[in-house]
Homo-oligomer: A and B are copies of this chain.
Amino acid sequence: MKIRHLLADLHGCTAPLLDDVDALLGLLRAAAANVGAHEYGRTTARYVPHGVTAVLILAESHMIVSTWPEHRLALVEILLCNEDMDPEEAFGAIREGLVPDHVELHQTVRGIHP
């Protein structure tokens, strides 16, 4: 089994979405749609005074975005256990939505067994 994992740090995000729970969940849904992944559950949390965590649980694992609007920062995690689905392709929707000026991207493969 091959599990593909993407971590992304999005710096300098200018979009007001960083503090918008529904919009962030919408970006995760768009990311899932990009690769044909299926929503299986969700949860969100809004921090006081600012910041959001949005989690989309998928039939093919999960996607999460955490934001720190005061630092114009979003951290994204995409885990997909269907090896035909490319996390970077999914990530495109989030990147477009949050308009960062700099992205650090790490994609790895996890959980391989002989």
Contacts and interface: CB of A to CB of B under 8 A. Distances in A.
A49 interface: no
A81 to B, nearest CB: 8
A3 B75 contact: yes
Interface string A55-81: 101010110101010010101010101
B68 A111 contact: yes
Give how many copies assemble into the complex.
Answer: 2
Main secondary structure of the interface of A (DSSP, over half): strand
B53 A62 contact: yes
A79 B75 contact: yes
Contacts of A11: 111, 113
Nearest to A70: B1
A68 B1 contact: yes
Interface of A: 1, 3, 5, 7, 9, 11, 40-45, 47, 53, 55, 57, 59, 61-62, 64, 66, 68, 71, 73, 75, 77, 79, 81, 110-111, 113
Q: Which 5 A-B residue pairings sit nearest by Cβ, starting from the closest? A: A43-B43, A41-B45, A45-B57, A73-B111, A9-B110
